Chain A
Amino acid sequence: MNATAKLDEYIPVVGQAIIDDLKLLAERLAQKHVLHVNSTAVGGGVAEILSRMVPLLGEMGINTKWEVIKGGDQFYQVTKKFHNVLHGRPDEVTPADFEIFMETSRKNIAEMNTDYDIVFIHDPQPIALIQKKGQNKWIWRCHIDVSKPHPIVWAFLKEFIVRYDASVFSAPSFSQQLPIRQALISPSIDPLSEKNRELSPEDVDRVLAKYQISRDKPIITQISRFDRLKDPVGVIEAFLMVRKYIDCQLILAGGTATDDPEGLQVLAEVKEKAADNPDIHILLLPQNDFEVNALQRGSDVIMQKSLKEGFGLTVSEALWKVKPVVAGNVGGIPLQIKHKYSGMLCNSVEGAAFALKQILNSPAFAKRLGENGREHIRNNFLLTRHLRDYMLLFLSLDYAEDLVYL
């Protein structure tokens, strides 16, 4: 990640006027002190985004601080359980879990200074800090899919949520009936990061050569963890349907932690399904943004055939690289793809195979999908838009009406 990028470095990507607008907004927030709180300083999408946003907000003159709550293993086991059941996975949540959660929360409440104009809390882990709310404004940012939340856990969290001044969700389907304002703010990709920056054709060739992938036939790629919700087996099934008619190859690339038994099991299933097919390349990639970037750029079609998805930023990453994308119609993916305009949405293996065939057989259509997709990402899913939305959100805290003259 290019951690040193300054605001003006984004001008060649989004244009001077967009940056000027950001500065106009920042002028209105110059006196504000903002605190972001989440549960981890490294790893995960929230930390990745905050590590870019906090310096840029600071550069624009908004005093921004980022704090991380403290918690032990037990606390994080409970919050992981909350996370899973909020996503719809069955698990038993006990009164002891809530007590562990509250015990750690009480310690953080006692220790953390929240004396800022705006306190911005990310995800459920630090949610109970709201008990420290004074006259200042508090925002709760939900980064996870809560379209069908576990009723008991949601009821527990809701007791805290309703005390905030505003909430933020990543996709319309995640919104709930709440008495507070709910903003829709999508996450974003950083066009200057290692994962998204421009690469030379030589860089792309070198990475493909490293994995012994030739470019003599079209490449279809899905880059995701080996996780059932990403449906890698379904991707192979769709590929095999297409392969009957079109000579092409498939890359399934992703990581799996050695301590994740389910991931290893899914990987075994994938390998069994691939059955030594020479046109299916299964790559176990360690965290390597440069190689992910090169594999995406070297592909002809990108897939993200998720069955459930928080937001699915891999779709934005692929569209930014002007690639036609076939993706599951779930979570935040429909925000990134308007079917047949900026990509293809699918609800089944057969649908995915059909979309792949359409794309591979119609280069002009594929090109238009990619180009539309790139502009859609430029307008809506880059870090600069995310910065603008956060500043608008901060400003909105002082107004109840829908139309504000500043």
Chain B
Amino acid sequence: MASDASLLNKTDEKESGLKKAKLPFHFYTRLHLTVLTGLKAANLTELLEHLKEVPGSSIYHHTHRFLQQHQYLNPEPPNDFAYWTTEVLGEKKLGEGISSIDVVQFSTIRDLRNRLIEVISNYVQQNPLSQKKFVNDGEEFYFMKSLSFILPTHDFATDLAEFIEILKKITVDSIYFHVFEARLRLEKKTNDFSAWIEQEFGETDLARKLSNLDPYTHTLEDLRRIIISIVEKRLRRK
């Protein structure tokens, strides 16, 4: 059986009662090439040192790319730094501290970097012996960065039904771009989907629901399902 959305999609605005956007939503995607920096850390002192000097695209890579590469994981380790300090260095308490950094509240990479440095520095100060712990050869933390390409897809949505249909088929990279990266790109606490829905349809409540999602605690496929479900629920109320 076709979903509510796909049935609606086959009708025109008048019949469906769906408002058409003046400015269609153009789906973009962001694809990454991982670049090695040649920098590595074998203990917390070296990790801190490099954290201060690596480019923002490296902080981005280790806090954001991890989710994309391991988005199926359950339970889900939140980022490379947390994974390494917990599983490789064996500093579980620090790993927990890094895991619990609320990435969603940071709208700039600069702030996120500062917070990471603060959490690790505090831990090292309180646990000076932790600096003496080195990992084995080959288990160092290797700093990488993302070289990112943002490119438009061929998909446009002019109403919420089309929006859902496209959302069902686009890559998680595209969802990631519009949900996670919007915060960093726009430097405000919203995402592209919410911004469009608010601007084009004046659907403040729906926009807020999407904007309030904490994307960092869902896998990307879950996030796709949740967004679709929220918008479908709204359409059924029409």
| A contact residues vs B (CB 8 Å cutoff) | 15-18, 20-21, 24-25, 28, 147, 169, 172-173, 175-178, 181-185, 329-330, 338-342, 347, 368, 372, 375-376, 379-380, 388-389, 392-393, 395-396, 399, 402-406
Contact = CB atoms under 8 A, between A and B. Distances in A.
8 contacts: A20-B153, A173-B140, A184-B36, A185-B34, A342-B73, A396-B147, A403-B150, A406-B150
Contacts of B145: 402
Interface string B54-75: 0111000000000011111110
Contacts of A21: 29, 31, 153, 171, 173
Contacts of A15: 171
Given A147-B138, A402-B57, A380 B69 contact: yes
A402 B44 CA distance: 27
A399 B151 CA distance: 15
Given A21-B171, A178-B38, A28 B31 contact: no
A336 to B, nearest CB: 11
B72 A375 contact: yes
Measured as residues with beta carbon below 8 angstroms from the partner, the interface class of chain B is 35 or more
Interface string B122-139: 000000000000001011
Contact of A402 (B40, B140, B147, B152): B147
Nearest to A331: B138
Interface in B65-100: 68-74, 77, 83, 87
A389 to B, nearest CB: 6
A341 B73 contact: yes
B148 A172 contact: no
A169 B36 contact: yes
Contacts of A339: 87
A338 B83 contact: yes
Which one of B33, B139, B153 has the highest number of Cβ atoms from chain A below 10 Å of its Cβ?
A: B33
Contacts of A173: 138, 140, 142
Contacts of B77: 338, 341
Contacts of B83: 338
A184 B144 contact: yes
A402 B34 CA distance: 10
B35 A329 contact: no
Which one of B38, B56, B72, B77 has the highest number of Cβ atoms from chain A below 10 Å of its Cβ?
A: B72
B30 to A, nearest CB: 9
Contacts of A147: 138
B169 interface: yes
Contacts of B50: none
A280 B136 CA distance: 33
Contact of B148 (A340, A342, A402): A402
A172 B31 contact: no
Contacts of B74: 368, 372
Contacts of B31: 21, 25, 388, 392
Interface of B: 29, 31-38, 40, 55-57, 68-74, 77, 83, 87, 136, 138-140, 142, 144-154, 169-171, 173-174
Contacts of B142: 172-173, 175
A392 B169 contact: no
A372 B150 CA distance: 28
Which one of B35, B57, B87 has the highest number of Cβ atoms from chain A below 10 Å of its Cβ?
A: B35
B138 A338 contact: no
A25 B32 CA distance: 12
B38 A329 contact: no
A341 B70 CA distance: 10
B149 A392 contact: yes
Nearest to B169: A17
A21 B33 CA distance: 14
Given A18-B171, A392-B31, A406-B152, 13 more contacts: A15-B171, A20-B153, A20-B171, A21-B31, A24-B153, A147-B138, A172-B144, A183-B34, A185-B34, A329-B138, A330-B138, A376-B69, A376-B72
Contacts of B69: 376, 379-380
A72 to B, nearest CB: 35
A186 to B, nearest CB: 9
B29 A183 contact: no
A368 B73 CA distance: 9
A403 B32 CA distance: 9
Contacts of A16: 169
B178 to A, nearest CB: 14
Given A20-B153, A341-B77, A402-B55, A182 B70 contact: no
A175 B36 CA distance: 7
A404 B34 contact: no
Nearest to B138: A173
Contacts of A183: 33-36, 147
Contacts of A175: 36-38, 142
